[in-house]
Structure 1
Amino acid sequence: MIRIGFLVGLTAFFLAFGVGLQDRSEPRAGFGSVAHASDDAGSFIMNLADRAIGALTDPSLDDSVRAERFRELVRDSLDVDFIAGRVLGPYVRRATDMEMAEFRNLLEENIVRKYSVMFKSYSGQKIELLDTKEGSRESTTVSILVHSTDGAPPSTVRWIVHEVDGKNKIIDIVVERASMVTTQKEEFVSVIRRGGGKVEALLQELRERNAELAQSRS
């Protein structure tokens, strides 16, 4: 069972451990721009894995360089603005523009600091592309099968992709019927509620988490 309680934790898991892509449906093609996410969402996920493996898995790479390369991939492949709005739940309406801007930056920083180091542990796990299906609101679901190298049964993971300004972006990942956006929203909303319903409580929590991660990586 894959147990990573954070949306981009699983993203990092896939990118760091998911090379060796096997496409059941069709040969790999070029990755040009398209009008709708469903046109090439599967190729987008496969290409993203290839890029990550090529840029991030060298064990001799300095951690700071790896982190900045991962940051570029996060910005290019995730719709962080969309995710930030969703994981705040009802409190997104209470957040000021300044709080939303800081939250978005803190969320990205947490993603980068927490998960970039995972790429050092790549050991050849396989990812098989199963299918792509159009969903609601012009999103596309990309289903993949993750084959471990220890003999454990494969796990099915569904990636939800939509288009932003002509580019595919990941907005959620569903593992064993659990949405990572929903999981993260439950955690963040709980932090805000404990802080009296103030978004600042979550911002402070993320500031502290990021500071601890920065110290542990130094």
Structure 2
Amino acid sequence: MKRLLTSVALMLSLLLPTLPAQASWEAASGVVEKVTQDMVTLLEEGVDINNDASLNDAMARVEQRLDGLIDFDYIAQRVMGKFYRRANDAERAHFATVFKHTMVKTYTKALAGFEISRVEVAPQGPESPEPDKQVVTLNVYSGAGTRYSLVNYMLERDGQWQLVNVILDGINLRLTFTNQFADLAERNNGNIQQVITSWESQVDSRVTKTEGS
């Protein structure tokens, strides 16, 4: 369950729209609330992950929602970490493409399989000393009544709010994926192309296991 929700949490960070912002917690939390409504709408529409046509249609709609809002090259660069400097331009572009595809696929399947009963924005915590940096916490409840905490780190940049990191029940997602890439690089002796291939197969394997759980 936590692995599945981690996929949802990661893509929540990718779905956050770049809306005009006022440097305040209210503005940041409003962006998070909008994303929540988008998520609920997708759940209500329903996706048959065992039907290729239904899954492909859902993935296309998710990707369309993301295009223009997300700089996947930037995200891939952060995930690659120090290995980004060691990769050539073709490898960087390839990983950005693979990262986008695997994340859209993972998110679509995870969203279809996770029964969310409700999502609430928690009350504001201590006031941020920097108005352009805000923390918005979501309480996500599963159909079984389990509560998960999603701590969203928001940054106002160029007049727009963007999510820069998510912590799910104490798990730092950005750090987790960076460590995952580094681990694959070590196991593949720094061969970036092999890392990319391993990344794709590993994500596909994880999604398959999630479907069977």
TM-score over 0.5 for the pair: yes
Answering whether residue 93 of structure 2 is matched by residue 106 of structure 1, we say no
| Structure 1: tracts of 5 or more residues without a match | 16-30
Q: Bigger shift: 169-178 or 188-197?
A: 169-178
* Number of residue pairs aligned between Structure 1 and Structure 2: 200
Task: Check whether the contact 2:25–2:134 (CA below 8 A) recurs between aligned residues.
Answer: yes
Q: Which amino acid aligns with 2:32?
A: I
SS of equivalent to 1:95:
coil
SS of equivalent to 1:63:
helix
1:91 to 75, 83, 103: 83
Residues 135 and 35 of structure 1: is their aligned pair in 2 closer, same or farther, counting only changes over 3 Å?
same
Q: Bigger shift: 196-205 or 52-61?
A: 52-61
Task: Check whether the contact 2:138–2:151 (CA below 8 A) recurs between aligned residues.
Answer: yes
Measure the CA separation in 2 of the matches of 1:203 and 1:135.
40
> Given the two structures, how large is their TM-score scaled by the length of structure 2?
0.73
Aligned to 1:177: 170
> Given the two structures, how large is their TM-score scaled by the length of structure 1?
0.72
Measure the CA separation in 1 of the matches of 2:43 and 2:57.
9
Residues 60 and 196 of structure 1: is their aligned pair in 2 closer, same or farther, counting only changes over 3 Å?
closer
Residues 86 and 214 of structure 1: is their aligned pair in 2 closer, same or farther, counting only changes over 3 Å?
closer
Aligned to 2:141: 147
1:186 to 164, 172, 179: 179
Q: Deviations over 1:140-172 (max 9, x none)?
A: 3211112233233x2221012334554433332
Measure the CA separation in 1 of the matches of 2:63 and 2:199.
17
SS of equivalent to 2:45:
coil
Q: Bigger shift: 76-85 or 98-107?
A: 76-85
Answering whether residue 53 of structure 2 is matched by residue 53 of structure 1, we say no
Q: Deviations over 1:105-130 (max 9, x none)?
A: 11010011122023334644211112
What does residue range 151-162 of structure 1 map to in structure 2 within 5 Å?
151-152=145-146, 154-162=147-155
Q: Deviations over 1:179-201 (max 9, x none)?
A: 01111111110111111123222
Residues 34 and 193 of structure 1: is their aligned pair in 2 closer, same or farther, counting only changes over 3 Å?
same
Task: Check whether the contact 1:109–1:210 (CA below 8 A) recurs between aligned residues.
Answer: no
Task: Check whether the contact 2:59–2:108 (CA below 8 A) recurs between aligned residues.
Answer: yes
Measure the CA separation in 2 of the matches of 1:72 and 1:134.
34
SS of equivalent to 1:4:
helix
2:189 to 193, 196, 201: 196
Q: Which amino acid aligns with 1:170?
A: L
Measure the CA separation in 2 of the matches of 1:116 and 1:125.
18
Aligned to 1:118: 110
Measure the CA separation in 2 of the matches of 1:53 and 1:60.
13
Residues 159 and 75 of structure 1: is their aligned pair in 2 closer, same or farther, counting only changes over 3 Å?
farther
Quote how far apart the aligned CAs of 1:48 are: 1.2
Between the aligned residues of both structures, percent identity stands at 16
Task: Check whether the contact 1:67–1:113 (CA below 8 A) recurs between aligned residues.
Answer: yes
| Structure 2: tracts of 5 or more residues without a match | 49-53
